């Protein structure tokens, strides 16, 4: 059955539990894996959930093993889910490059062959996975979203497109304007085709410029990030936010790079940021 979960691992951590599951995704047409942390409060009550979207080459394991988020999440009573970054499998289209294909789904719905057969990560994150989680875990229906790099793009884009589904958005070193940077242009042209107007449906700068409902947003960027100038360019989003009077909290963090050392350093602050809105 598509709504069945196959347990892969479970570990007690800070009196909560980290679980890893596999399930068959009808949306993606393949088996998918995700990890979920349930805080100790989930043993007695329903809890809010933070979606964490990871970056290029990552799986569900990167954040859960490297971010150091569990102690704060346990204290605040926040569950965290980390899905995979793309469909997977021998029959799923792929590419030899790290920034296209498996591990590089860009959280969109592909329209071009051969990608359209499986690469519908937008529908998976927005529809299928939340429904599945709500069936199986004690969640109270309040969701926030966060992510890193390609996942920061996903968090901003999905949050901006679905302001009624999420209480708040945060991102570490996000790709904010994928239609105008090499990583995004490569992915969008392959997944969506050559019509650049189609790309704007998944571009956070374009979405923010046309937004009518404001969600709280926190963005952290490291000044020593090697991808900052060419691929990330957060100033573009901040400039549009200023023009739109959209309140985004943007922090340039001196000397931090693009790694999980950066995420470890500020993940607790992001969890407290989301907690303030998840618990309203």
Question: What is the DSSP track for 208-253?
Answer: HHT--S---EEEEEETT-TTIIIII-HHHHHHHHHHHT--EEEEEE
What pLDDT shows up at residue 1? 38
- Total domains in the fold of the chain: 1
Q: What is the pLDDT of residues 223-267, one digit of tens each?
A: 999 999 999 999 999 999 999 999 999 999 999 999 999 999 999
pTM equals 0.97
Residue 81 domain-assigned? yes
Domain hosting residue 25, numbered range: 6-278
- φ, ψ (nearest 5 deg) of residue 128: -65, -50
Residue 140 domain-assigned? yes
- Among the listed residues 25, 54, 146, 149, the single catalytic one is 149
Residue 40 domain-assigned? yes
Residue 26 has pLDDT above 80, yes or no: yes
d(CA 129, CA 55): 18
Residue 223 domain-assigned? yes
- Among the listed residues 118, 190, 258, 270, the single catalytic one is 258
Residue 192 domain-assigned? yes
Unique residue bearing structure tokens 């991102």: 171
- Among the listed residues 54, 225, 270, 275, the single catalytic one is 225
What pLDDT shows up at residue 280? 86
Residue 1 domain-assigned? no
149 has catalytic annotation: yes
| CATH number of domain containing 169 | 3.40.50.1820
- Residues 170-187, mean pLDDT to the nearest whole number: 98
Residue 2 has pLDDT above 70, yes or no: no
């Amino acid at each position: 059955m598509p709504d069945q979960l196959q347990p892969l691992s479970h570990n007690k951590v800070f009196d909560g539990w980290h679980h890893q599951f596999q399930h068959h995704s009808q949306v993606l047409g393949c088996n998918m894996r995700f990890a979920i942390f349930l805080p100790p409060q989930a043993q007695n009550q329903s809890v809010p959930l933070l979606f964490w979207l990871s970056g290029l080459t990552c799986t569900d394991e990167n954040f859960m093993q490297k971010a150091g988020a569990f102690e704060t999440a346990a204290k605040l009573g926040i569950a965290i889910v980390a899905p995979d970054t793309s469909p997977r499998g021998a029959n799923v289209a792929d590419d030899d490059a790290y920034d296209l294909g498996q591990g590089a789904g860009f959280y969109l719905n592909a329209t071009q062959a051969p990608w359209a057969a499986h690469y519908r990560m937008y529908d998976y994150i927005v529809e299928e996975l939340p429904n599945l989680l709500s069936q199986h875990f004690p969640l109270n229906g309040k969701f926030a979203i966060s992510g890193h790099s390609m996942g920061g793009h996903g968090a901003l884009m999905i949050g901006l497109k679905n302001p009624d589904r999420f209480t708040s958005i945060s991102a570490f070193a996000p790709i904010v304007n994928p239609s105008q940077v090499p990583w995004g242009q490569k992915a969008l042209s392959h997944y969506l085709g050559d019509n650049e107007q189609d790309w704007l449906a998944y571009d956070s700068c374009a979405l923010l410029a046309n937004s009518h409902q404001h969600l709280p947003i926190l963005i952290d960027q490291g000044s020593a990030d090697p991808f900052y100038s060419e691929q990330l360019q957060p100033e573009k989003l901040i400039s549009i936010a200023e023009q739109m009077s959209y309140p985004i909290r943007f922090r340039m963090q001196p000397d931090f790079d693009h790694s999980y050392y950066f995420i470890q350093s500020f993940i607790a602050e992001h969890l407290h940021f989301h907690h303030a809105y998840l618990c309203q």
